[in-house]
């Protein structure tokens, strides 16, 4: 019997996702972003915002934009920012993304774009009332989210967000072949390759807790419909056509809606002091970074596993995935484990290993002691007396030397 959450998620998600897809299909695509240096998610985001900008000015031919003077292009951008700020009521962070997209468009389509002065554009941005006030989710809040999940798929998505710090907009791009299993002292984990088909790809490990739920989810898919996995099979599935044996992946909008719905149904959102206290996917990324940093994992390893640029250091320091995995398992894995039962299992495993090491060391000490004991027993009384005399002679000489020095 399905819970109210699973029913509401299914119907509402299909309705919401369908409406967004329909809106995107109705919007004419006047300009396509093809820049190779951008990630797939950034390309899609830029393309959407650029075409919104062109639609705002009812432009259907980008040749019109090329005729704008630098002053006119800047003024149009300022007017658009004011529209987003005062009419759409967008926050500062969202408007900055729109400005970045439009600026990219102007630079790519105009020869004199370098002459644009962005100072006045930045002055029209609204203040960020949530700046430095938003926070990561807590372990207790994520536990409540997991309790609100009615399906293994939802639990897997939440644990992927918390244990890898992956961007919520990248989960729909993950394939089964992007997961490489690794055995560690704490159990089986996966090295997850994010954006595997782009130049922005990077690897990040997950916790044994997350790996267990991933295996459980894939096993369910196999048992329910006899699905056969290939490397290009989507990790997060929406529908499965048994006749055609075709898999339909869950879309980016579907995953975002699903996570927001779980946050809402779990009751966490109603307890927030203000709207932006913990921001959607960013709340999970900040949880990952905070927990990993505080656990003692190297900051530069956290940044690499977080999919962040490490600046100039990236040209010289190239850590191996195995080094990051070892650092992650040694320090961060426990802090990123959510289920208290899993935490106890890991702590018990570590205690058993420490006890085993202690017993092994104690056995070695006993062996050395028995050897020494046998050696002393077999010594004659004369030899024993000689050893004792030599010992006291050395102690006495040392005392004489120290006394002379004083």
Sorted by sequence, the CB contacts under 8 Å of residue 131 that are 6+ apart come out as: 92
Per the CB < 8 A criterion, the answer to whether 135 and 99 are in contact is no
pLDDT at 47 over 70: yes
CA distance 167 to 357: 40
98-104 mean pLDDT: 93
Is residue 345 very low, low, confident or very high in pLDDT (cuts 50, 70, 90)?
Answer: low
**What pLDDT score does 21 carry?**
45
Averaged pLDDT, 369-377:
69
Q: For Cα atoms 210, 212, 214, give the angle at the middle one, nearest 5 degrees.
A: 70
By C-alpha distance, which of 198, 315, 322 is closest to 305?
A: 322
- In the predicted model, what is the mean pLDDT of the chain? 82
Least confident of 146-160, 275-289, 363-377: 363-377
pLDDT band at 6 (very low <50, low <70, confident <90, very high): very low
Say whether pLDDT at 343 is over 50.
yes
Q: What's the rounded Cα separation, in Å, for the pair 283 and 137?
A: 5
pLDDT of residue 10: 46
Q: Is 195 helix (H, G, I), strand (E, B) or coil?
A: coil
Q: How many Å apart are CA 153 and CA 259, to the nearest integer?
A: 11
The answer to whether 163 and 207 are in contact (CB under 8 A) is yes
Rounded CA-CA distance 366/82 in Å is 80
pLDDT of residue 7: 41
Structure-model confidence comparison of residues 118 and 218, the more confident one: 218
Question: Tokens standing for 157?
Answer: 């998505």
Average pLDDT over residues 337-356: 70
Under the banding of pLDDT at 50, 70 and 90, the label for residue 25 is very low
Give the pLDDT of residue 280. 79
**pLDDT, tens digit, for every residue of 179-226?**
999 999 889 999 999 999 887 899 999 999 999 999 999 999 998 878
Q: What is the mean pLDDT of residues 313-319?
A: 81
Angle in degrees, 0-180, between the axes of helices 4-26 and 252-265, rounded to the nearest 10:
140
What is d(CA 118, CA 115) in angstroms, rounded to the nearest whole number?
A: 9
Please tell me the least confidently modeled range out of 54-68, 178-192, 209-223, 265-279: 265-279
User: What was the pLDDT predicted at 17?
Assistant: 44
398: pLDDT strictly greater than 60: no
Instruction: Copy the structure tokens of residue 68.
Output: 């704008």
d(CA 90, CA 276): 13
**Do the beta carbons of residue 313 and residue 322 sit within 8 Å?**
no
Alpha carbon 329 to its chain centroid, in Å, reads 15
Among the ranges given (124-133, 154-163, 192-201), the one the predictor scored with the smallest mean pLDDT: 124-133
Specify the range with the lowest mean pLDDT, choosing from 33-37, 213-217, 263-267, 288-292. 33-37
- Residue 132: pLDDT band (50, 70, 90) is low
């Amino acid at each position: 019997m399905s819970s109210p959450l699973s029913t509401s998620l299914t119907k509402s998600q299909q309705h919401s996702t369908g409406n967004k897809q329909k809106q995107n299909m109705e919007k004419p695509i006047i300009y396509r972003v093809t820049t190779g240096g951008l990630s797939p998610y950034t390309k899609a985001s830029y393309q959407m915002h650029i075409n919104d900008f062109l639609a705002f000015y009812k432009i259907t031919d980008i040749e019109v934009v090329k005729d704008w003077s630098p002053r006119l292009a800047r003024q149009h951008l300022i007017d658009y920012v004011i529209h987003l700020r005062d009419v759409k009521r967008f926050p500062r962070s969202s408007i900055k993304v729109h400005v970045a997209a439009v600026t990219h468009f102007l630079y790519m389509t105009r020869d004199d774009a370098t002459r644009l002065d962005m100072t006045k554009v930045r002055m029209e941005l609204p203040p960020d009332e949530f700046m430095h006030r938003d926070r990561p989710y807590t372990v207790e809040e994520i536990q409540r989210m997991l309790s609100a999940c009615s399906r293994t798929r939802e639990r897997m998505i939440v644990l992927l967000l918390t244990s890898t710090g992956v961007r919520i907009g990248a989960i729909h791009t993950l394939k089964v072949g992007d997961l490489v299993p690794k055995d560690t002292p704490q159990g089986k984990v996966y090295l997850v390759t994010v954006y595997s088909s782009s130049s922005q790809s990077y690897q990040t490990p997950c916790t044994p807790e997350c790996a267990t739920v991933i295996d459980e989810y894939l096993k369910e898919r196999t048992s329910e419909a006899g699905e056969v996995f290939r490397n290009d099979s989507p990790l997060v599935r929406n529908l499965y056509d048994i006749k055609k044996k075709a898999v339909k992946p869950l879309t980016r909008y579907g995953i975002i809606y699903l996570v927001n719905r779980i946050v809402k149904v779990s009751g966490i959102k109603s307890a927030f002091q203000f709207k932006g206290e913990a921001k959607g996917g960013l709340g999970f990324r900040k949880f990952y970074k905070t927990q990993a940093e505080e656990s003692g994992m190297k900051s530069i390893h956290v940044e690499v596993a977080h999919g962040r640029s490490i600046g100039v250091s990236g040209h010289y320091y190239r850590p191996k995935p195995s080094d990051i995995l070892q650092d992650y398992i040694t320090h961060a894995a426990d802090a990123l484990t959510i289920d208290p039962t899993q935490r106890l299992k890991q702590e018990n495993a570590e205690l058993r290993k420490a006890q085993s090491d202690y017993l092994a060391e104690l056995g070695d000490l006993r062996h050395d002691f028995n050897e020494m004991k046998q050696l002393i027993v077999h010594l004659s009384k004369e030899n024993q007396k000689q050893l004792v005399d030599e010992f006291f002679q050395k102690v006495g000489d040392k005392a004489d030397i120290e006394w002379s020095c004083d």
